[in-house]
Each structure stands twice: as structure tokens, then as C-alpha cells.
Amino acid sequence: MSTKRLFTGTLLVLASLVLAACMLLPGKFGSDLTLHRDGTFSFTYKGEIFLLPLSKLAQDKPAGTGEKKPFTPSPCRDEGSQASRPCTKAEVDAQRAAWDVAQPGASQRDAENERMAKAWLGGLDPSDPKAADAFAERLSRQAGWKSVINRGDGRFEVEYAANGRLDHDFSFPMIERMPAVVPFVTMIRRADGSVRIDAPAFASSASASPLMAMLAEVAKDKAKGGTSPLPQIDGTFTLRTDGAILANNTDEGARPDPAGQRLDWKIDVRTAAMPTALIRLDR
């Protein structure tokens, strides 16, 4: 069995656990950050966000109904020659674990995963039809969320705006009772007066993190040749500053702007690296 096949089988075991985590992803969006050298800033995000535990991708269960059949391992093959060879114990164990998940006896495991999902979602039950509305209401209570509209299947149209002075680190989004959100944008102050800006979620799903790579493989398996059930990222991120731009990974570099200079990132499914920049402020 190839490494890819073994990896995919293992993913089926982890799929429900991955989706139980509070995974919030961007869809179509526009985001702007203005950072002044005196430390004041303003940030906006307008567009879609997807809460995957409330989507059909999370609700779909691995196929497997009816009478439980005996486990039979699949043949294993060398990566290069594809010649048959004896399976290792690890390969057989991975196949057996994937097979177990697909059996009717997995109901107890499903119940445990649902319990974990509620814990990650701050008490929201992903199987409750009212969970999405409750999530939208929770966000609307937090400062900065100007508009939150539930569009179904885990998709929300939102508008967020915040401003202040960067005398502490900043991360968006921060959601009440949901600690496991991958940050869309972070600003981290350094002791030398510079600020590191990263946008971890503004990258293609498969390259954003190992966890997202696993999720992409699960989605690919569930799509079975059709459209991927994962949200498709499509947006822009713009940084304006009158501070000194020490580093960035834009394609075109800094351009003049009334605020000083600007950096622009176009983000889609081909974006492999998250946007990042290092800005020096007045100390």
C-alpha cells in the first residue's frame, strides 16, 4: 500500500476529530489594516467566514451500514516499483482503524466526537439546527462585529471593524468561549519597536497548516470527483503604513499610498504562503 493511500486511510480515522475542532475559515472577503508608526491602527474584515463544524462536511459520516464484516487488509506496494510486499504492522493497524470507523459499531465513537465538538464550540451543539443562529448571536454581542448574517451550511456574512493603539498583541478573530480558532490576522510587537504581521488563515487550505492539509485530504475523499465541500478562499488583504517596511512577501512590494506605503496580497486557492510583513514603528 502506498504512503498516500495509508495517509488517506488514517485521515478517515481522524476526520471527525479534525472537524470537531473549532475551525473557522475565510471565504470571499476583503480585509484592510492601517498601522501608523505611533502605534495606532485600524482593521476591517468584510465578507464570508465558514464555521466547519456546522457544515455538511462535518455532518457527513463515513460510509458503512449494515452487518459488520470481517476485516481484511489491503495489499501493500512499494512506492517506486509498485511491487507487492508484506504490510508492516503500522500499515495494517492504520487500515484496521480506518475500517473500524466505517462500521456500524462506531456510534459510540461518534457520540464522543459530538461531545468534543460541543466543548470546542463553547457549548454549541453542531447537530442542533439552531446552533448557527446562536453562533451569529454570540458574535453580534462582541465589540467590533458590525453585522453577522447566517447563510446556512456553516457560512456567515460578516462585517468587522476595530481600532486602537497597539500597546499589546492583536489577533482576529477572537471568539468568546472558542479558543481553537486559527487566526486570520495577527500583530505581534517586538522589543525593538517592530511589529510582525501574519495572516495564517489567508492561505490555501492545504498549505496553511498540517491540520488543514489533513482536512483537505478528507474533503477530497468526500468529494469523490465532484466539487470540494471545503470553502474556496478568495479575497484581498491590504496593509497601509507610514512605518518602515522591513520585510514582506508581496509579489509587487510596497507602493505609494496617502497613508505612506501599502502592501497588497491577492489570496485564492493557489496562495501557498500566508501574507507576512515586518514594520518598524516609533519606539
Whether the pLDDT of residue 149 is over 60: the answer is: yes
Flag whether 75 is in a domain.
no
Flag whether 77 is in a domain.
no
What pLDDT is attached to residue 113?
Answer: 57
Flag whether 137 is in a domain.
yes
Q: Quick one: three-class SS letters along 186-231?
A: EEEECCCCEEEEECCCCCCHHHHCHHHHHHHHHHHHHHCCCCCCCC
Across the range 252-278, mean pLDDT stands at 93
Before 173, cis peptide (omega within 30)? Answer: yes
Whether the pLDDT of residue 66 is over 60: the answer is: no
CB 29 within 8 A of CB 48: yes
Query: pLDDT tens digit string along 234-247?
Result: 999 999 999 999 99
Flag whether 201 is in a domain.
yes
pLDDT interval class at 108 (50, 70, 90): low
Average pLDDT across the chain, whole number: 80
Q: Which domain holds residue 160?
A: 3-64+83-280
Whether the pLDDT of residue 54 is over 90: the answer is: no
Flag whether 182 is in a domain.
yes
Flag whether 73 is in a domain.
no
High-pLDDT (> 90) share of the chain, % = 45
Flag whether 69 is in a domain.
no
Counting the structural domains of the chain, the total is 1
Q: Running DSSP on this structure, what letter comes out for residue 147?
A: E
pLDDT interval class at 20 (50, 70, 90): very low
